[in-house]
Structure 1
Amino acid sequence: MTLAARLDHTLLRPDANDAQVARLCEEAAAHGFASVCVPPCYVAPAAAKLAGTAVAVSTVIGFPLGYSTSSVKFKEAEVALYDGATELDMVINISALKSGRPEAIQAEVLDVADLCHVHQALLKVIIETALLTDAEIELACQLCVAGEADFVKTSTGFASRGASVADVALLRRVLPASVRIKAAGGIRTRAAALALVAAGADRLGSSHSLALISENDEPTAA
């Protein structure tokens, strides 16, 4: 698999505009990226722009802080799927994890995962590793597995740091092979991207996707 095929071409800046989203979609189709990740308000136009291509449309839920109520996240997911998203990146309730309420996180993940799977969509759960201890990362992974998430994602890109090789290696040790890993946040060079793949990342989220690929994109490790 090429590096391009692992990339979620991302534009989540608050000042993103119509022309930039259209260009993001064009670049994703031209380079064979896995998906575009766009703000919820841009799901419908991105889906229309990418119709007939192999590029998925993803968006964010409960983003970037994660402490929206479960009912609000569920509604966000419903609207995004209706608008044409086929992948959702949802932030866990980090406050609930820190407060010792893991059952709330598991229930929330399971509800949104069930909704996604009814629509043949994927759920990526963002645990924001920068804010968690290793023990909390392991617990969050266990809750994502119990909640039937398709991916565990390291970061929003809005915290103090993004993905690290150590984070990804820890996730890969804890998660079963059936649950994939998405690394995101601060991935700006091809070398950094390849190191994350080598550590176990299946998907990478970056707003610097074009800088990560070359004209002759070589296959990465399986």
Structure 2
Amino acid sequence: MDTTKLTAKTLASVFDHTFLKAYATHEDFDKLCREAKEIGAAMVAINASPVTYCKEQLKDSDVHVGAAIAFPLGQTTLETKILETQKAIADGADEIDYVINIGEAKMHHWDYLEREMREITQVCHKHGILCKVIFENCYLEKEEIRKLAEIAKKVKPDYIKTSTGFGTGGASVEDVKLMKETVGDAVKVKAAGGIRDWATCKAMLEAGAERIGTSSSLKILDEFKKERG
């Protein structure tokens, strides 16, 4: 992305404004949704339980509600992930971010990962819902990241995503570049995890990310505006 052409409005439109903490309350979701509407974020990123509540808060806006599935470990069965995805969509989710079965990736069970990705993507696309696949790169070797991206290029979810933000590491420029180079224009890339300032955000966008998952949207926007004067 050419960040020199960004405005505050277009920058905000790539943010998945995030609150995924276990202790989140309605007060937290009220604040999250209010901020997302004020800045014009792409989405609020939440766990599946408060989807209906946030959908109601955002009903008069263009901000999407995104549900995190099998979050943050990915260690549930495919059947469970599909049921969770279907329930989130029925509750009003516009986008799904699901975590792959990382253990299966470490064992190089690529057929399983392709089936998981294909079936969840099909459920989403049947309902006109965006599907994002979270790799959790901090646990993967570079060739494992590449292999997952090659599977995504074949299956065509809407996005592949670097991280949950709950692992041992978050997004890196190196990983974003690797993911984007592998999928090309077939799939978009979302960077998430540890993106808390404009400098980091800018580097991720320039590396090929088209969505940014962050709980620091307002801080990043403020730094961007100060830089641009």
Q: Which residue is 2:98 aligned to? A: 90
Q: Would you say the 8 A contact 1:162–1:185 is kept in 2?
A: yes
Give the structure-2-normalised TM-score. Answer: 0.92
Secondary structure class of the residue paired with 1:204: strand
CA distance in 1, matches of 2:124, 2:67: 12
Match of 1:174 in 2: 182
Q: Which runs of 5+ in 2 are unaligned?
A: 1-5
- The residue aligned with 1:4 is 12
SS at match of 2:49: helix
Moved more, 175-184 or 141-150: 141-150
The residue type equivalent to 1:149 in the other structure is P
User: Matches of residues 85-124 of structure 1 in structure 2 within 5 Å?
Assistant: 85-124=93-132
Number of residue pairs matched by the alignment: 219
Aligned to 2:68: 60
User: Are the aligned partners of 1:28 and 1:55 in contact in 2 as well (CA < 8 Å)?
Assistant: yes
1:95-153 Cα distance to aligned partner (Å, 9 max, x none): 11111211111111111111111111000000011111110000011122222211000
Q: Is the 8 A contact 1:47 1:85 kept in 2?
A: yes
Alignment-mate amino acid for residue 170 of structure 1 = L
What is the distance in 1 between the residues matched to 2:167 and 2:224? Answer: 33
**CA distance in 2 between partners of 1:217 and 1:121 (Å):** 32
Aligned pair partner of 1:128 in 120, 125, 136: 136
Q: Distance in 1 between matches of 2:102 and 2:89?
A: 24
Matched residue SS, 2:38? helix
What is the CA RMSD across the aligned residues, in angstroms? 1.6
For residues 114 and 43 of structure 1, do their structure 2 counterparts lie closer, same or farther at Cα, with a shift above 3 Å needed? Answer: same
Aligned equivalents of 1:40, 1:183: Cα separation in 2: 20
User: Counterpart of 1:87 in structure 2: which amino acid?
Assistant: E
Whole-angstrom distance in 1 between the partners of 2:39 and 2:222: 10
Question: Corresponding residue for 2:173?
Answer: 165
Residue 184 of structure 1, CA deviation = 0.3
TM-score by length of 1: 0.95
Gaps of 5+ in 1: none
Alignment correspondent of 2:162 = 154
2:209 is aligned to 201
In 2, distance between residues paired with 1:66 and 1:129?
13
Secondary structure of the residue aligned to 2:97 is strand
Once the two structures are TM-superposed, the CA of residue 217 in structure 1 deviates from its matched residue by 5.0
Which residue of the other structure, out of 22, 37, 53, is the alignment partner of 1:45?
Answer: 53
Cα distance change, pair 85–99 in 1 and its aligned pair in 2 (3 A): same
Distance in 2, matches of 1:175 and 1:216, equals: 29
- Runs of 4 or more above 3 Å deviation: 215-218
Question: In 2, are the aligned partners of 1:29 and 1:53 still within 8 Å (CA)?
Answer: yes
* 8 Å contact from structure 2 (residues 47, 71) kept in 1: no
Structure 1 equivalent of residue 145 of structure 2: 137
Whether the aligned pair in 2 keeps the contact of 1:4 and 1:34 (CA below 8 Å) is yes
Match of 2:3 in 1: none
Residues 44 and 84, structure 1, Cα contact 8 Å, conserved in 2: yes
Are the counterparts in 2 of residues 3 and 217 from structure 1 also a CA contact under 8 Å? no
Residue 72 of structure 2 aligns with an amino acid whose one-letter code is P
SS in structure 1 at match of 2:98: strand
SS in 2 for 1:125: strand
Distance 1:29 1:105, change over 3 A: same
Looking at structure 1, the residues matched to 103 and 201 of structure 2 have their Cα atoms a distance apart, in angstroms, of 30
Tell me how far 1:209 sits from its aligned partner. 1.1
Cα deviation code 1:138-196 (max 9, x no counterpart): 00111222222110000000111100111111111111213000000011101110110
